[in-house]
Amino acid sequence: MEKKKRLSAPGTMSKPKVIDIQMDAAFFFERAVQSLDRYHYDKALKYFRRAAEYEPNNPVNHCNLAGVLSETGKYEESNRLLQHVLESIDPAMTECHFYMANNYANMENYEQAEKALLLYLEQDEYGQFLNEAEEMMEFLSIELGRPVQPNSIKSREGFYEHDKARALLEEGKFAEAVRQLEKLLKKHEDLTAARNNLALAYYYMGQFEKSMATIHDVLERDPGNLHALCNLAIFHQHFGNKKELGELLDVLRKTYPYHADHVFKLATTMGILAEHEKAYHLFKRLLKSGEAGLEPCLYHYAAVAATNIGRYIEAEKLWRQAQKADPESNIPAFYLGQLELLRRGEPKPSFSYHYHLPFEEQFKVLEKTQQGIPEHLKKDPLVRSSFFWALRHGDADTKLQVIQAFGLIADNEVQEALRDFIQDPAEDDYLKKVAIFVLRAIGVGEPLKVVLDGQTLVLEASPYSPKLPRWEAKWQSVMDKAVQTMNKRYDMIQQHDLETLWVEFLTRVYPTVPKITKVEGWAAALEYLIAKMHRKAISYYEVAARYNVGVATVSKNVKWIDEACGLREKMDAIFPKLP
């Protein structure tokens, strides 16, 4: 049977179905993504370009296009597009800096890659590519042959700066740590860890009032903060607040922290507070668990605690372990020697929980080296803190020793401490003059603000007296020759006294200053006088031979300086045999 064709009635013919395609940015974006999935980069480029044309102010489209350009090796074009996004469309698209860093790295332009990467880390709030950025930092460090270190990482804002400040504390750079922490806390008030470290930095520098105020600030914000409670207990002990200390000790004795960091903090605190039994068990707990890392200082702390509770055999074993862990240090050997004295029944020596030599022993080390200070002492924060502390709170002799030691350390922290010292009206003028000499000796050439005899002065770099209208080159040559010749045999105090004596002599005889024909003769006379003033064995023959001048010349110049400065009368007790 023949099939009949179905005819539509007139006017009822159906229209073909047509799908209306919306040609917009979203359409081309989808096509671009599909092309990328199939690795059709040429098509993806075409589609992303069209998407950017439809929405020229949408930074995402431009970034996608830049990404494909990078994939196809067109790094320079990719970076031009990313730069356009940052400059003209959306400066907040900080990830563009990261993309640009990748492009520069692929172009082997590592300097530009570093700049772009640092901009990303310092501007990006969310840290989307933080892990990748850290890997790139490591890669660039290798390629550049130096560390790549951002000033800050915005996505870790506060934490990064705090880590830097902690590192400064560990290096003994207390003043710099204070600046970093104060700046950090202005932006992030709730970082209690930073406040605790700021309190410690103040404490190490001897600024007790500031430290105490900072601790109380922490405890107002976080009353149970263990670090702050431990710091407060040490302060109560320092200031002799027996009642407050007793109440706080009752709390700390019953505290059993879980985290290794808290265990270590409480252990060291209890040791300092003479709660040695509690400290011993906490240190042993750390040693058994290994959580705190088996550092030589940890063996030392446990050994000190063991000694103080009469466990001498245990203490010896612990210091032997410290020796193995730190074979180049003389600290374990020193304390083993002290332990032996204790076992013989001699008066009980001091056993400090600090992992460094006692203050007096440190100076014995320094006395053996006038040309430098051992690196382990220079970098040890506890050694440095003891120096800063002594400069503020020691007696005059100790301060003089510290000033001299600072001349051997000679870093920015030392310069800052000495600058503050010479401006303190309460300090002794002679000590301040020595400090000025040390500052000049370590290379500080600019004018120095100083308070002397109750007056604030600005001292120029030249060593002459204000009463001298000029300073002759020959006068300077005498001083230079003497200091150069004396350098390895006289300390900084003695060199300072030489400078003072020479300037005083010239000031007293001016304007009838003797004509200096032979610099060595006057330099020899100055050394002779300084040696006598400081009870150093010396003779005219010895000093004349050293400077290659005649004995008569030295003798004549010595008498001239003595008569002008009145040394015989002023120094008779120290200097009785001046010819």
According to the model, what pLDDT value does residue 138 have?
Answer: 87
- Residue 78 belongs to some domain of the structure: yes
> Which residue stretches of 24-158 are H helix?
25-37, 41-54, 59-71, 75-84, 95-106, 110-123, 130-144
pLDDT digits (tens, 9 = 90+) for 488-525: 787 777 877 888 888 888 888 888 888 888 899 999 99
pLDDT digits (tens, 9 = 90+) for 67-116: 888 888 889 988 998 998 888 888 888 889 999 999 999 999 999 999 99
According to the model, what pLDDT value does residue 380 have?
Answer: 60
According to the model, what pLDDT value does residue 7 have?
Answer: 37
Q: Same structural domain for residues 540 and 497? A: yes
Dist CA 352 CA 338 (whole Å): 11
pLDDT digits (tens, 9 = 90+) for 16-48: 444 444 565 566 666 766 666 666 667 777 777
Q: Write the CATH number for 560.
A: 1.10.472.10
pLDDT digits (tens, 9 = 90+) for 262-312: 888 899 899 989 899 999 999 998 888 775 556 888 899 999 999 999 999
What's the distance, CA 364 to chain centroid? 25
Is the model's pLDDT at 130 over the cut of 90?
no
According to the model, what pLDDT value does residue 4 have?
Answer: 38
According to the model, what pLDDT value does residue 10 have?
Answer: 44
pLDDT digits (tens, 9 = 90+) for 374-424: 555 556 665 676 677 778 777 777 787 788 777 777 778 788 888 888 888
Average pLDDT value for the chain = 79
Query: Is there a contact between 86 and 64 (Cβ–Cβ < 8 Å)?
Result: no
Q: Write the CATH number for 79.
A: 1.25.40.10
Last residue in a domain, options 153, 188, 222: 153
Dist CA 528 CA 540 (whole Å): 7
Coil vs helix vs strand at 458: strand
What's the mean pLDDT in 177-195?
A: 87
Q: How many domains does the chain have?
A: 4
**Between the CA of residue 87 and those of 44, 90, 99, 113, 128, what are the distances in Å?**
25, 7, 15, 18, 21
Q: Which residues of 385-419 are buried (b: 16+ CB within 10 A; e: fewer)?
A: bbbbbbbbebeeebbbbbbbbbbbbbeebbbebbb
What's the mean pLDDT in 144-167?
A: 79
Q: Same structural domain for residues 477 and 370? A: no
Q: Same structural domain for residues 301 and 374? A: no
Q: φ, ψ for residue 452 (rounded to 5)?
A: -130, 135
- Cis amide prior to 425 (ω within 30 degrees): no
According to the model, what pLDDT value does residue 403 have?
Answer: 80
Residues spanned by the domain of 525: 473-570
53 vs 468, residue with greater confidence? 53
pLDDT digits (tens, 9 = 90+) for 535-562: 788 888 899 999 999 989 989 998 888 8
Last residue in a domain, options 120, 153, 186: 153
What's the mean pLDDT in 219-223?
A: 88
Is the model's pLDDT at 246 over the cut of 90?
yes
Dist CA 458 CA 416 (whole Å): 16
- Residue 13 belongs to some domain of the structure: no
For a pLDDT cut of 70, what percent of the chain falls above it?
80
Dist CA 108 CA 276 (whole Å): 59
According to the model, what pLDDT value does residue 23 have?
Answer: 60
Q: Same structural domain for residues 300 and 405? A: no
Query: Is there a contact between 356 and 383 (Cβ–Cβ < 8 Å)?
Result: yes
Closest CA to 568 of 533, 521, 528, 522: 533
Q: Which residue has the tokens 């096509």?
A: 31
Q: What is the DSSP letter of 233?
A: H
Q: Same structural domain for residues 245 and 390? A: no
According to the model, what pLDDT value does residue 18 have?
Answer: 43
Q: Same structural domain for residues 85 and 142? A: yes
pTM assigned to the model: 0.51
Q: Same structural domain for residues 175 and 304? A: yes
Closest CA to 115 of 128, 92, 97: 97
The residues near 13 (Cβ < 8 Å, ≥ 6 apart) are: none
Q: Same structural domain for residues 332 and 307? A: yes
- Residue 528 belongs to some domain of the structure: yes
What's the mean pLDDT in 173-185?
A: 87
Query: Is there a contact between 541 and 554 (Cβ–Cβ < 8 Å)?
Result: no
